Chain A
């Protein structure tokens, strides 16, 4: 049987190490795999739909776009534990006096790349949900890494720089970027979170509905068996940012599906 062919987007050089490690983990099992790296999620989803790859390691936006392009004929089969509890953090200078999203009325909010669910698409939805109409908040969009759906984190760092440079009063960033800068502990007195979103789902392994479960199940079973206590596994898990592979929580994608529809975001570019 041919190895399962998995697509992933190369947003950092570490992706090579990560996927070679995962491929090695599956070597010699009855569900061997290989991988292809893409420069952006748009092409990856194209190659999933045309059958070139069997699975795509997709962001939440790539998942929603695959749903849209296939009319729902796709399935999410596994995800990281960290993907089930992802959040967007609204950050301002410490002492800004902001208490919730309505504090942004008449202020400037820096957003990350336009295809970042956590730093652009969902934040706009959260503002609307808080009763803020278009124009109530001045949006500063920073499209530093379009195509990679915010994976590099660069646009979110640029949004934080905008606060320090007085070009913005607040920024919307993913919880992973908030953790990466040391939350409010590494730079005490610099930033504070004044509102954090409900949790939502982020990345998942996406397959077309036509992919037989008997082909996928052994692969998923072996993936979920990766063990944090095993040093060889832990190296890969740490680099990929999880402690345990788990089954996806599909209800966690609802807020993004709604946001994409409301904002008229096209299913493909």
Chain B
């Protein structure tokens, strides 16, 4: 039974606001069933949108909300890149690691079989780049197979601390596809002090040496630095240093320290505030690699089908953005 007076209220209140703006309608609690039916029928017929429904009121939008996905830079569209945590154990125990990796951390390897399936499904799902991270991926005895499963499908970036390029691990590096793989090595400062204070003694020297080896082996190397917010404004000496060791400016990535994992400081990053970067671990699908060890950003325990998981992340992103827009409309400040 459609509520007759509610239809009249809907028409009147929609007409009193601009397209894109929201408005509310109310009903008596005993009319709730009819009200819900009316809201659905009216919004479908008129192209207006139900934003939120309470017990005796609803928030609606005149017209449809803009598409948050369409407003993103194409490069930011969730699912453009696919992050995979190959493992969580690490030879370092950095004091700001966002996923709590260390030599004592359980490996939780994704495994070459799942990586192979993910890479294949990624192509079909429209992913254009694969990014492998950890933990320290070069601790895995089959990292060369894992990387090959990815580069066989898509351009791939492998994040590493660059400290393990010797012996068998150097041989595994040499087996990787130089045309399809970029290495991303972490360096936090132009001199050892700051880097070593977070990552351990002599880690800066060994990472710089790793960059040299990777270059000698013919790999493109990007450098990513994790900096506290107060250091972000003093970047030029750091860029000059990276220039001096052969890192192209476009391959110099600076990221702010996040308050995640074992880090006690840093910027707060939540599902609501982050544009998602679909991230796969052995434990499930996560919203963003910065929180791949945190339940609040777990999207699903199921990894497959990958396309469905990407669609789910996109749908949640749209929902968050539209709720935020509606909330902004609810609480004007002046």
Considering the chains assembled together, what is the distance between the CA atoms of A180 and B16 in angstroms?
A: 13
From 1 to 57 in chain B, residues with beta carbon under 8 angstroms from any chain A beta carbon are 2, 4-5, 7-8, 11-12, 15-19, 21, 41-42, 45-46
Whether the Cβ atoms of A13 and B11 lie closer than 8 Å is no
A185, B44: Cα distance in complex, Å: 13
Residues of B participating in the A interface, judged by any CB pair closer than 8 Å: 2, 4-5, 7-8, 11-12, 15-19, 21, 41-42, 45-46, 62
A187 touches B18 (CB 8 A): no
CB distance from A10 to the nearest CB of B (A): 11
Q: Give 9 closest A-B pairs by Cβ, nearest first.
A: A13-B18, A190-B4, A157-B8, A180-B11, A187-B4, A157-B12, A14-B18, A187-B2, A187-B7
Interchain CB contact under 8 A, A12 and B42: no
Q: How many residues of A contact B (CB 8 A)?
A: 22
Instruction: Compute how far the CA of A142 lies from the CA of B67 in the bound complex, rounded to whole angstroms.
Output: 40
Does A17 sit within 8 A of B, measured CB to CB? yes
Query: Is A181's CB within 8 Å of the partner chain B?
Result: yes
| Alpha-carbon gap, A29 to B84, bound state (A) | 54
* B8 in contact with A161 (CB, 8 Å): yes
Residues of chain A with a CB closer than 8 A to B7's CB: 181-182, 186-187
| Nearest-Cβ distance from residue A195 to partner chain B, whole angstroms | 21
CA of A154 to CA of B16 in the docked complex: distance in angstroms? 9
List A contacts of B12 (CB < 8 A): 153-154, 157
The answer to whether B8 touches A181, judged by C-beta atoms less than 8 angstroms apart, is yes
A166-193 CB contacts (< 8 Å) to partner B: 177, 180-182, 185-188, 190
User: Taking CB as reference atom, which chain A residue is nearest B62?
Assistant: A14
Q: Which residues of B contact A16 (CB under 8 A)?
A: 18
Q: Closest Cβ of chain B: how far from A132's Cβ, in Å?
A: 27
In chain A, what residue has the closest Cβ to B18? A13
Do B15 and A152 touch (CB < 8 A)?
A: yes
Asked whether any CB of chain B lies closer than 8 Å to the CB of A164, the reply is yes
Residues of B within 8 A of A89 (CB): none
Q: Which of A152, A180, A185 is packed against the most chain B CB atoms within 10 Å?
A: A180
Which partner residue on chain B sits nearest A182 by CB separation?
B45
Interface: A239 (CB within 8 A): yes
Residues of B within 8 A of A177 (CB): 11
Given A164-B4, A187-B7, 16 other A-B contacts at CB below 8 A?
Answer: A12-B15, A12-B17, A13-B17, A14-B18, A16-B18, A154-B12, A157-B11, A161-B8, A164-B8, A180-B11, A186-B2, A186-B7, A186-B41, A187-B4, A188-B2, A239-B19
Q: List 30 A-B contacts (CB under 8 A).
A: A12-B15, A12-B17, A12-B18, A13-B21, A14-B19, A17-B18, A17-B19, A152-B16, A154-B12, A157-B8, A157-B11, A157-B12, A160-B8, A161-B8, A164-B4, A180-B15, A181-B8, A182-B7, A182-B41, A182-B42, A182-B45, A186-B2, A186-B7, A186-B41, A186-B42, A186-B45, A187-B2, A187-B4, A187-B7, A239-B19
| Residues of A215-262 whose CB lies within 8 A of B | 239
Cα A181 to Cα B17 in complex, Å, equals: 17
Q: B134 → chain A, closest Cβ, in Å? A: 47
A239 to B15: give the CA distance in the assembly, Å. Answer: 11
Assess the B2–A12 pair: CB atoms within 8 A. Answer: no
B18 touches A153 (CB 8 A): no
A190 to B15, CA, bound (A): 21
Q: Please measure, in the bound complex, the distance between the C-alpha atom of A153 and the C-alpha atom of B45, giving whole angstroms.
A: 19
Name the residue on A nearest B8 (C-beta).
Answer: A157
Residue of A nearest to B20 (CB): A17
Nearest chain B CB to A179's CB is how many angstroms away? Answer: 10
Distance A180 CA – B39 CA, assembled complex (angstroms): 14
Which residues of chain A are near B4, meaning CB under 8 Å? 164, 187, 190
A118-175 with Cβ < 8 A to chain B: 152-154, 157, 160-161, 164
Q: Are B42 and A153 in contact (CB under 8 A)?
A: no
Q: Which residue of B lies closest to A154 (CB)?
A: B12
A 1-38 binary contact with B (CB < 8 Å = 1; else 0): 00000000000111011000000000000000000000
